[in-house]
Amino acid sequence: MHLEISNPNEYRAGLYIRLSKEDENEGPSESVNNQKSMLSRFVREHRLPVYDTYIDDGWSGTNFDRPGFKRLIADIEAKKVNMVITKDLSRLGRDYIMTGHYMERYFPEKRVRYISILDGIDTGVDSTANDITPFRAIMNDMYAKDISKKIKSVKRDKQRKGLFIGGKPLFGYKMHPSEKNKIVIDEEAAPIVRRIFSMALEGMSCHQIAVSLNAEKVPTPAVYAGLRQGRAGPYAGMWSSERISDMLQNETYIGNMVQGRSVKISYKSQRSLSQARENWVVVEGTHEPIIDPEAFQKVQTLLDSRRRTRSRKYDFLLKGLIHCHECGYPLGVLNRKNAKGEDCLYFVCRTYQRFTKAGVCTCHSIKEKTVTDAVIQKVIDVCGEHLKPDLLFKAAIQTVEKACRAESNKSGIWALRHKIDSLSTNLEKMYMDRLSGVLEDRDFERIYERIKAERAALRQRLSELEGADCFCADEDWTKAIVQKFIDQGLASREVLVSLIERVELTEGKEVIIRFRFAQPEKMS
């Protein structure tokens, strides 16, 4: 199609050029210089003013997050460019969804005329070439998908051969100076790796190793490689127990090439998903080891033993709601003995706990019950004036009678019996766990008493339902229930989460509550 532009002086053209590594295989006709020459000849012939030329060399057409293309969009937004010219539609992109978005929506909304020279596409005129543009975009997308499959197959084949195809070798290694896809020991970083394994063999935990390295200001793998930090924060540029654990379990250090630990979601996306260990590609004896296999195996045994004896997690009312005011991270809890020798939960700042010697934050240690009681009291103070017993009484009468009628039917009785049987089975299983040593005596007694009390309450409830033909709510009893809700209902997890957005604990043990319906309020 011969393109005609009747009013060239009304336009400020942006010449867009893109070349990916896959396009280089198509021959010199796809080169940057060739595209630039064709576009320059076109604008000369049509006497079009050119605002700028935008080039993305080495960028895939499935990725629209390209620097040159982003600069072109910025100039369109600033109304500096109102015409975009490419050699063909595939230069604009190979993702038919995004290509269609720009052609069918973005460019028309911004009053931008798009021209593809070889395809004869010109959005400034009506033509059959424009009508079949969506099909061209789909074909370009299919080409990109086919190329992606071929590249993936080639990479997988290289992985199976033990060739390194990653961007950066694992910390402790570097690329071979002359052989492609081969790694060698980095003599500057390797001593740090050997020291980490040595500390693990001495019995130090991953957390202790991380604390020690941070105290000595040993550079992390990311800092050593000069990689840009993902986001600023108290953990940026510091060793963590997760990093240490990952290194201690990596077989690359005993001479095995480990690849395929993650896989891209799609050829259109840069995101990756972690793969299960059985799907990793592991090839033995591909490079010189840093760690002796026997020492590596001993470390795995130590790590496995800690997994089986890890301290249990604790549930508390403010879980997920309470944060450190200084660093912003959620507070954790520790179980400690008080002066009477009783178990007691304490809040503690996780940042301080992980990086104590780095001085990133402070301990914030305070009894969990102290903070929880203060938060509950504040909730009662704020909400109590809106909860009038007289207003709730009528609704409570109806709710109680309805609930009791529902529970008195056969399905309700059956559900209670089933739950009682289930609790009895759990008690028997716990008793066997105690005899076999799986469950400690202290834990058994605590859980046993709780379940036994719950079972007794259910039996009492079942007895009442089985012996009652009908139920009429007693006025005094219902009023007592209403008052009990006002006094205790506000302390439930469900109510607190619905009312409170965030609780913060300051270094000075000050509690800040941010309600979902009000500004933050402070209290001592």
3-state secondary structure of 245: helix
3-class state of residue 274 by DSSP: strand
Q: How many Cβ atoms are within 10 Å of 294's Cβ, its own excluded?
A: 8
* Cα 174 to Cα 167: distance, rounded to the nearest angstrom: 11
Fold of 173-308: Hect, E3 ligase catalytic domain fold (3.90.1750)
- 323, 503 in Cβ contact below 8 A? yes
**Radius of gyration over alpha carbons of the chain, in Å?**
34
- The full 3-state SS of 430-486, as one line of letters, equals HHHHHHHCCCCHHHHHHHHHHHHHHHHHHHHHHHHHHHCCCCCCCHHHHHHHHHHHH
User: Under a CB-based contact definition with an 8 Å cutoff, are residues 516 and 501 in contact?
Assistant: yes
pTM over 0.75: no
Query: Kind and range of the H or E element at 283?
Result: strand 281-283
Alpha carbons 80 and 75: distance in angstroms, whole number: 5
Q: Residue 92: what residue type?
A: L
DSSP 330: B
- With H, G, I as helix, E, B as strand and everything else as coil, classify residue 114: strand
Contacts of 133 (CB under 8 A, 6+ apart): 89, 103, 119, 121
Q: Domain locations in the chain?
A: 8-146, 173-308, 409-467
**Fold exhibited by the domain 8-146:** Rossmann fold (3.40.50)
**Residues 282, 523: Cα–Cα separation, whole Å:** 57
Q: Cα dist. 291→194, 220, 282, 288, 479 in Å?
A: 7, 19, 17, 9, 72
pLDDT tens string for the chain (524 positions)? 456 677 888 999 999 999 886 665 555 556 888 899 999 999 999 999 999 999 999 888 888 889 999 999 999 999 999 999 999 888 898 887 788 888 888 998 999 999 988 888 888 877 655 555 555 556 556 655 666 666 677 777 787 888 888 878 889 999 998 888 899 999 999 999 999 998 888 878 888 898 889 888 888 888 887 766 555 555 677 888 888 999 999 999 999 988 887 776 655 556 667 778 788 888 888 899 999 998 898 888 777 766 644 445 666 788 778 888 888 888 888 888 777 778 888 888 878 777 766 667 888 888 888 888 888 888 777 766 555 555 555 555 666 555 555 545 555 676 777 778 777 777 777 777 777 767 677 777 777 788 888 888 888 877 776 665 444 445 565 556 555 555 555 566 666 776 788 889 888 888 888 887 654 444 44
**Cα 76 from Cα 180, distance rounded (Å):** 43
Q: Is the dihedral of CA 480, 481, 485, 489 positive or negative?
A: positive
Helix and strand element counts for the chain (H, E) = 20, 18
Q: Which residues neighbour 301 within 8 Å (Cβ) at sequence distance 6 or greater?
A: none
**Cα distance between residue 254 and residue 294, in whole Å:** 9
